[in-house]
Every structure is written in structure tokens, then in C-alpha cells.
Structure 1
Amino acid sequence: ASQNTGITVQNMATLKDITKRLKSTKNIQKIIKSMKMVAAAKYARAERELKPARVYGIGSLVLYEKADIKVPEEKKKHLLIGVSSDRRLCGAIHFSVAKQMKSEVATFTVAGKEIMIVGIGNKVRGILHRTHSDQFLVTFKEVGRKPPTFGDASVIALELLHSGYEFDEVSIIFNRFRSVISYKTEEKPIFSLNTIASASSMSIYSDIDADVLQNCQEYNLANIIYYSLKESTTSEQSARMTAMDNTSKNASEMIDKLTQTFNCTRQAIITKELIEIISGAAKKLLLHCLNY
């Protein structure tokens, strides 16, 4: 009897543990659903703001393509910009940027080029700090907490232009938004003022003086940074929304399994108690019959 009582107490303790886990999982699911709703609202805004930014950004990139600007072989200084943010809970979106940056650093190093890294967002620096800390020129923090503006991009552009590092070419790596469930890590070129001015295709524009060319280069730098920030932000918000949705589904599956375990355990306790009651009643009846 004492052994059966011990088993019953153990089962009751198991029920309490399952109940606690159920309650905890349901509370976590509520938080996740709230976070998903916030991410969905931010994603809708980011996607809406991306459309006009994409027009101007692609326009600036087309200028380089149409002008057929190429960096001479003797030019060695390269600046690599990685666009991420300071925020988490968005899958592997920051790691994809860092992975491509590592690959580009290795490629340029083998080619004998001097390369410096700029991190837009603290996450990309956190990933690359251990292996490439000596190559970081500057890191821009507090990225991703608010929607990026052209003013933010202009501040970054001016900081790069006045950093003292006279680069010949810039590669900016960011996540380009494709759909609510997908993005693509891309790399786009940005050229220095000297590289643009020395391009053979620019010589046909006799009315472009040095000031106009400098203003154009500074504007294009800020514009492409702004475009990449908008693409990256939209990709991040969609990835966060997808991550929250997947986590919520996993929580639902866990709740179902815990509920099933709870019901099975409770049914086992009830069945055992019924068996004990029936066995006790049968024993009493047998004793009564023997005494009779």
C-alpha cells in the first residue's frame, strides 16, 4: 500500500510540473504573438518606405553602370561596408552579411589590396570582431531601433569621407528584400571621387566641374547607404516576423504535447486509484464472505 501511495504522490508531482510548464509555455506564446504583431506593423511600414528609397538607390547604382567606371589595377585601397543592426531575434540575417564580408576580405587580401571594414550596426562587428578587429575603421551603433532616414545615411557618409582613409573603391554588403519570407545578400560598388573623375567615360561631359562631381559623389554615397539601410531594415523586419511566427508554431506544438502528457498522466492516476478502490472493495467482500 505504501508503494502504491508513493507512486501516486510521484504522479501528482509530475502533474504539477507539467502544469507549470504548460502555464510557462502559454505565457511565452502570448509574448511571442505580441512581438509578432509589433514586427508585422514595423514590417508594413518598412516595406512602404522601401519603394521610394529603392527608386533613388537603383538610380545611383545605374549611374556607375552607365558610366562604366572601373578601378585601375594600381589602386589598392578598398573599403568594405557591412549593413546590419543592433537588434536580435531575426534569424541568421546578420550572419549572412558577416559571412559574405569574410569571403570578400579573404579575396581582396589575396589580391594584394589594403582593406578596411565599416560596420553599420553592432551585430556585424560582434561577429567579425574576433577575427578582423584590426581592420575595423569605424562602427555605427544604435542602428535598427528607429526607421533609418536619409539624414542618418548622410551622417554615415560624411563620417566615412572625413575618416582620413582615402579609399579608391567601396563595396557595400546588405540584405536585399525579395519577399516576406526571403531576402538575398548582395554587394554593390561605390567609387571614390578620384576614381569617378579619372573614368574615360566622364571626359565627354565638359561642363562638369570638380565641385559638381564632388557633390554628385557625396550624394550618391549617402543615397546608396540610405537605400541599403532601407533594404536591410525591411529584410530584418520580415525575418523577425517569420521567426516569431515559427516560434509561436513551435510553442503551440509543445503545448499540445504537454497537454497530451498531462491528460495521459492524469488518466493513469485515476485508473490506478479506481483499481485500488475496486481491489479494496473486493478484498473486504471476500473477508466478509469468509467470516460469514
Structure 2
Amino acid sequence: MKSEAATLTAAGKEVMLVGIGDKIRGILHRTHSDQFLVSFKEVGRKPPTFGDASAIALELLNSGYEFDEGSIIFNQFRSVISYKTEEKPIFSLETVASAESMSIYDDIDADVLQNYQEYNLASIIYYSLKESTTSEQSARMTAMDNASKNASEMIDKLTLTFNRTRQAVITKELIEIISGAAAL
């Protein structure tokens, strides 16, 4: 994210960031605080819903910031042990209205385009929230599995050490008893 923002800024483009969640805000706010448009802190504490995504989309569209295009960067789940950082494009109302695929329709009302843009943005945000949550839960599950395996190995090693130490103490006591009996 940091390198992407730096590259776009160097190319003369205005870059504004929207952070969803506490972690991304904490990481980027130190270095890019002047580029933050809005931050959503309460998202991610519970499983994401389409209502959350719709609220985020409406807040972005009603923020007053005009954009030509943007992208949502998120972690896409690949398997239990891996994820991939993905980027999905988002477009402004003007870009959507002037798209070639929209010109096949005879007449599109401005309200229909606005609703389409809101739904499209909410859908992309919902998808990215679900993928990120899945990736996070997978990483947590893998970390807990590794911790459990490490704890089991540690318990086995400590049990072996304990048994060897106990056996050494018993052997030492037996030697002392036998030595004492032989001395009599």
C-alpha cells in the first residue's frame, strides 16, 4: 500500500486512503495521515455483513470527495496456509456512465446509475471484507495449530526430562541404600 501510494503520488495523481479496520489505520496513519479521507474502526470486530459494506459505500459516496477511479486492496484467501494481496478497481459515476458496456442501453436514468454505483461499490467492499476475514481466520487457525503442536512437543520433552531426572534420583537412592547395606 505504501509503495503504491508513493508511486501514484510521484506520478502526479492525488491519492486518498480509506482505512477499514484498526490495523490498517494504525499502520498507514503514521506515514500517510494527510492522505486519509475516512477511517472505519469498528468494522472487523464482528463478521462482516452486507449492511456494513453498504454503510461504508454510502459514507464514501457521501464524503464529498470526487474521484475518477480507485481500488480496494485486500487479502484474498487461497488456502489454509496462504493468501494473496488482491486489488479490485472501483469507478466514479461519470466513468460508469461513459463506459461502453453501458451504452448498449437506450436510456439510463441518473438515479439508476447512482443506485448501480452504490450497489457495485457495496458488493466489492462486501467481497473484500469477506475475503479478508476468511484470510485472517485462516491465519489465526494456522497459528493456533502451530502453537498447539509446539506445546505438545514441549510437553513431551519436559515429560521425558522429568522421567529421566526422577529415574536418576531413584537410582541414586538405591545405590546409597545398597552401599549402606554393604557397609554393615
The two structures share one fold, judged by TM-score above 0.5: yes
1:112 is paired with a residue whose SS is: coil
Among 97, 102, 121, the alignment partner of 1:197 is: 97
The list of structure 1 runs, each at least 4 consecutive aligned residues, that deviate by more than 4 angstroms after superposition, is: none
Q: Aligned letter for 2:145?
A: D
Q: Which residue of 2 aligns with 1:207?
A: 107
Answering whether residue 61 of structure 2 is matched by residue 161 of structure 1, we say yes
Aligned partners of 1:259, 1:140: CA distance in 2, in Å? 48
**How big is the shift at 1:180?**
3.0
Structure 1, unaligned stretches of length 5 or more? 1-100, 286-292
* Bigger helix share: 1
**How big is the shift at 1:136?**
1.8
Q: Which residue of 2 aligns with 1:277?
A: 177
Alpha carbons 2:43, 2:52 under 8 Å: kept: no
**How big is the shift at 1:201?**
5.0
What do residues 128-168 of structure 1 show as CA deviations (whole Å, max 9, x unaligned)?
23222222222212223322111111100011112222122
Alpha carbons 2:76, 2:84 under 8 Å: kept: yes
**How big is the shift at 1:204?**
4.2
Residues 1-292 of structure 1 aligned to structure 2 (within 5 Å): 101-282=1-182, 284-285=183-184
Q: Aligned letter for 2:156?
A: D
CA-atom RMSD, angstroms? 1.8
Q: Aligned letter for 1:134?
A: D
Aligned partners of 2:169, 2:32: CA distance in 1, in Å? 60
Percent of aligned pairs with the same amino acid: 88
- Pairs aligned (count): 184
Aligned partners of 1:202, 1:190: CA distance in 2, in Å? 16
Q: Aligned letter for 1:266?
A: R
TM-score (normalised: structure 1): 0.59
TM-score (normalised: structure 2): 0.90
What do residues 26-75 of structure 1 show as CA deviations (whole Å, max 9, x unaligned)?
xxxxxxxxxxxxxxxxxxxxxxxxxxxxxxxxxxxxxxxxxxxxxxxxxx
Q: Aligned letter for 1:136?
A: F
1:205 is paired with a residue whose SS is: coil
Aligned partners of 2:179, 2:42: CA distance in 1, in Å? 70
